[in-house]
Structure 1
Amino acid sequence: MDRRFANGTVNASQSGSGPPLVLLHSLLSDRASFDRVAPELSETFRVIVPELPGFGESEAVRGGLAAVADRIAGAINDFADGEDVIVLGNGYGGFVALQMAIRHPNTATRLILADCGAAFSEPGREAFRNMAAASRTRGLSAITDVAMRRLFAPEFQEANPDLMRDRREAFLRTDPDVFRAACEALAELDLRPQLGQVKIPVLVLVGEQDEATPPPMSHEMAAGLPQARLKIIPGCAHVPQLQSPRVFLDAIGDFLLQS
């Protein structure tokens, strides 16, 4: 069931009952990237999966990643209705969740940050600048292969042609202006000086084969967060919840259920 939040600007699906659990999708994917884990999670939680601003039916917002985080914080306050909230962000959704925790420290009580970080290396920044430039001159179709490689290892792509067809179609539905704005924001991002402000417990996850946000980014982020623990997900790349849903659910299970 879809509902509108934050004065109607954020569209989100909602399923299950229990404490609220918010799932934020990546830049190169959409909220369907959680379809393989949401049904099981909704047996214990009220699972809310927003379309990030500018994706699907959620309204875009100007002002970079901070403005996106502010919009999502407003939506989560609507979702929460006074309850404690756990927020899980994958990729771009993880960057949004981290920025939100810094700017709105009372929004979430726990975070799961999957395949993201606090800042990119210079080669990582250049990759985003190149994707933004290529999409501007040649369209998203020109970088679809690059985008898919950042999501999944080549062997996984070869073994899962139907899923890859679906993921390519999802990427090509992305608003090009929203995509470029996000790339430019990530190319400039450095949240390392603010990590100490995040006082809540954080589980940091990363696929050992992640090329988009390599494991050293997660090591650095976890080291800078006051209450973080790090788990490496073997055999996975940037979207482990799609690639190995059972492994992903097992990796987050204890953290989700701790009192």
Structure 2
Amino acid sequence: MILVHGFRGDHHGLEGLARDLALTLPGTRMIVPDLPGFGETPAIPGRAHDIELYGEWLSAFAAEAAPQGFALLGHSFGSLVVGAALASGLAPSRLVLVNPISAPALQGPQALMSRLALGYYRAAEMLPERPARALLGNPAIVRVMSEVMAKTGDPELRSWIHGQHAAYFSTFSDPSTLLQAFRASVSHTVPEFAHAFTMPTLLIAGERDDITPLFRQLELRHRVPGSRLRIIPGTGHLVHYEAVSDAAACIGDFLTAEARSATSGAAA
């Protein structure tokens, strides 16, 4: 199973989910790559880091890392990367989208915040490297982002989440690539690619997600025939941090049930 992380994250963000899934699905190999320009994967020289580039990269990665077949999971921005790859022909056996981006960021109630964030990344790109990184990695700004996204009332878990964001939210290659990736994240939605979701599909949404309202996830569910939607109460956009066990259980049940169904169909 290949798991694709969200914007400004790297493989650490999905580490807990991958670990729980490995326990839930013994014998299944979990692969969590860093997207180009994040974590340990360098930016791709001479290319705009738009959604097409990320989808192309994922297709090439999957062909090399799992040539015998794979299930695919995308979280947040990773759901857009997955969608772009599927629209270009990538064909996983099963699909899981966690907190998919199902609403346009530059329209609706989140439009103002998205435009302010775009201005923030543009301003950083105009600065020399050192002050740009200082701005983008400013502990106070990162903490505010973390506070807004975290919904748990557990002080220990909140503290851990803030620590994860402080440690890994600024592992990007350079400010220009980060701006390009942000533009990609706010310029597309998963429903654009829904026509390509022909494989068994599971959608997992946080009840209190500020980035994509729940009704938009319900609309996506209706646009993908045969898909399933699991809503996790009390969580927001950080299902992969706040509800790891619940998400892993949902995914494990989904993959196991689909495997049984495929086996029964083959036997018939």
Establish whether TM, by shorter chain, passes 0.5. Answer: yes
SS in structure 1 of the partner of residue 41 of structure 2: coil
Give CA deviations for 1:191-224 in whole Å, capped at 9, x if unaligned.
5354223211110111112112232232222211
Distance 1:76 1:242, change over 3 A: same
Structure 1 residue 150: deviation in Å?
Answer: 4.8
1:68-79 alignment to 2 at 5 Å?
68-79=54-65
| Unaligned stretches of 5+ residues in structure 1 | 1-20
Tell me if structure 2 keeps the 8 A contact 1:115–1:238. yes
What CA distance in whole angstroms lies between the structure 2 residues aligned with 1:53 and 1:77?
A: 16
As a proportion of its length, which structure holds more helix?
Answer: 2
TM-score by length of structure 1 reads 0.82
| Unaligned stretches of 5+ residues in structure 2 | 125-134, 260-268
Give CA deviations for 1:214-236 in whole Å, capped at 9, x if unaligned.
32232222211123111101121
- Answer 1 or 2: higher relative contact order, Cα 8 Å, separation at least 6: 2
Question: Which moves more between the two structures, 121-130 or 221-230?
Answer: 121-130
Distance 1:237 1:133, change over 3 A: same
Out of 69, 80, 104, which is 1:84 matched to?
Answer: 69
Asked if 1:36 is matched to 2:20, the reply is: no
What CA distance in whole angstroms lies between the structure 1 residues aligned with 2:147 and 2:177?
A: 20
Out of 141, 153, 163, which is 2:151 matched to?
Answer: 153
Match of 2:120 in 1: 134
Tell me if structure 1 keeps the 8 A contact 2:7–2:185. no
1:196-235 alignment to 2 at 5 Å?
196-235=195-234
Question: Which moves more between the two structures, 122-131 or 215-224?
Answer: 122-131
Between the two proteins, the alignment pairs up a number of residues equal to: 237
Tell me if structure 2 keeps the 8 A contact 1:30–1:51. yes
Distance 1:92 1:211, change over 3 A: same
Out of 102, 108, 120, which is 2:104 matched to?
Answer: 120
Match of 2:255 in 1: 256
SS in structure 2 of the partner of residue 203 of structure 1: strand
What letter corresponds to residue 93 of structure 2 in structure 1? Answer: T
What letter corresponds to residue 85 of structure 1 in structure 2? Answer: F
Distance 1:63 1:166, change over 3 A: closer
Give CA deviations for 1:151-186 in whole Å, capped at 9, x if unaligned.
312635675324412322211333433332122123
1:85-104 alignment to 2 at 5 Å?
85-104=70-89
Q: CA RMSD in A?
A: 2.3
Tell me if structure 1 keeps the 8 A contact 2:161–2:241. no
What letter corresponds to residue 34 of structure 1 in structure 2? Answer: L
Structure 1 residue 91: deviation in Å?
Answer: 0.7
Asked if 1:66 is matched to 2:65, the reply is: no
What CA distance in whole angstroms lies between the structure 1 residues aligned with 2:208 and 2:141?
A: 20
Structure showing greater radius of gyration is 2
Tell me if structure 1 keeps the 8 A contact 2:9–2:39. no
Asked if 1:50 is matched to 2:33, the reply is: yes
Tell me if structure 2 keeps the 8 A contact 1:200–1:227. no
As a proportion of its length, which structure holds more strand?
Answer: 1
Distance 1:209 1:71, change over 3 A: same
Asked if 1:111 is matched to 2:95, the reply is: yes
Structure 1 residue 55: deviation in Å?
Answer: 0.5
Give CA deviations for 1:93-128 in whole Å, capped at 9, x if unaligned.
11111221111243x121101101344250434433
What CA distance in whole angstroms lies between the structure 2 residues aligned with 1:64 and 1:135?
A: 15
